Structure 1
């Protein structure tokens, strides 16, 4: 079962480009207009001059063309594979392999786009670099304040409500046994919010160090910023990586357990959702 992402605002260019699990009537419009939509994200962090805007537009258009022609067909195949797995009988090991494989699409995106993005970063003026870093720091600080304001038990409760809503979107009305399974899994789920904030801060600190270095050659700057852009796990703590894997196993086990409780109607609902995702991707691929 795949996440039904409804994009209200792009948090970064990568998300703006990567539309794997989008399923809505506006998906094609959103994807086809990434160039100007992404500018709203950029404006939140730094003002680009005319030449830099032209450079960013070229990056987005080139990446979008590559993504549409190579990645979206792969996403579609992934969904078809998981649909087949769902109908033939879920096996935890196979399902986890598919989920892990799907995550590699994000890595593919970074591998394709990191160099031109690093080159754009190298073209920023000292003031632009400082503004960019300060604005991202402000966003992280806001997230940290929001996290501190919400008690752990409250976050747990909110997550359970989100999970129940999510599975209802896929299955339809949940029975008592399914609600219990979802609640038990939610109870075991490890909250990694603070660790994710630490990761964001570590990655930002690394970018700041590159931006503020005065003795780097152009090639050294691009190489070091490229590392910050594409090597996400380098800035994740071993604890975060461990929790991510354990939470993924919980999610896979829950899907396997839920699969044994589904009514014929719920199975029909799931297949319809898979078909909607596939149709959406077909629309986007065709442009």
Structure 2
């Protein structure tokens, strides 16, 4: 139900690629087991990797996946259990939501730190043709996003943003009533020109990435790349930086209010969805190695 990750997504950050793939799959455990296939397939749109690069990346992804399952998934499961308990006990408040938000950010940071050496190795191995492909694809994706999210008139942006949020919420709660839909529209109005700020920020980060990749053969390339993955906030535009606290606060208040407005049926469905997500993750065979 949280909308801020989309604003921070970095297309070459493997952790985000993984999250996007997982969220698009009806069975998270199936997607998780096949990340070593799915992520190279997704990244190939940008890099057109050769067979040696693909083989090396798959091997590294298997190592990262084992680490993630062993050290991170147990934390996710604990967080889901806590969240479901808070839902069942009517304790969805700003403070509890902020606690989950902090844990989410910590999880992303841990993944970014872990995959930085692999990202450095992969990007450092690119030839000139692959770098051009990367630049061209990033520019084309940016153009598509500009056309979809920024070029429409602001009232349409607000309406479509509300529709996207409504769809995400209804996945967890079932159909929303008129008052809940109006609350989402109010949230979308409050965000105003956030689409433009997000896309400008995305362009700014990508420009820094491309500049770093152009100097991929320099000895300090890993050091130059690491902050882009591990500390993306350092590359935010001023406008986006100013907007983030407001956007996060507005979204947390939206989640709190929608929960307060939820019917017993909606709350039950939310609890069942959380339990299903927990069960999917808990069924992964790799977790056996993490259990005492």
- When the two structures are superposed, what TM-score results if normalisation uses the length of structure 1? 0.85
The Cα offsets for residues 81-112 of structure 1, whole Å up to 9 and x where unpaired, read as: 12222233222122222223222211111010
Is the contact made by 1:35 and 1:61 (CA closer than 8 Å) also made in structure 2?
yes
| Structure 1 gap segments, 5+ residues each | none
Cα gap change, 1:31 to 1:193, in 2 (>3 Å): same
Deviations 1:174-222 (CA, angstroms, capped at 9, x unpaired): 33433332332232233422222222222222222223338x632x122
1:31-180 equivalence runs, <5 A? 31-88=32-89, 89-180=91-182
Give, in angstroms, the shift of residue 20 of structure 1.
10
When residues 247 and 20 of structure 1 are mapped into structure 2, their CA distance, relative to the original with a 3 A threshold, is farther
Deviation at 1:114, TM superposition (A): 0.6
Distance 1:72 1:217 in 2: 36
Unaligned runs of 5+ in 2: 288-292
Which of structure 1's runs of 4+ aligned residues deviate more than 6 A?
none
RMSD: 2.8
8 Å Cα contact 2:158-2:192 kept in structure 1: no
Is this contact kept in 1: 2:204–2:237, CA < 8 A?
Answer: no
SS of residue matched to 2:265: helix
Task: State the distance in 1 between where 2:44 and 2:21 align.
Answer: 24
Number of equivalenced pairs: 280
Shift of 1:167: 2.8
Distance in 1 separating the partners of 2:140 and 2:24: 31
Distance 2:106 2:38 in 1: 25
Q: Quote the residue 1:197 is aligned against.
A: 199
2:87–2:267 Cα contact (<8 Å) kept = no
Distance 1:285 1:247, change over 3 A: farther
2:290 maps to what in 1?
none
**Cα shift readout 1:231-262 (whole Å, capped 9, x = no counterpart):** 21122123213322212211222222233333
Alignment CA distance shift 1:123-1:180 (3 Å): closer
Provide the C-alpha distance between the structure 2 equivalents of 1:198 and 1:242, rounded to a whole number of angstroms.
13
Q: Identify the range of structure 1 (174-183 vs 21-30) with the bigger mean alpha-carbon deviation.
A: 21-30
Shift of 1:11: 5.3
> Normalising to structure 2: TM-score of the pair?
0.84
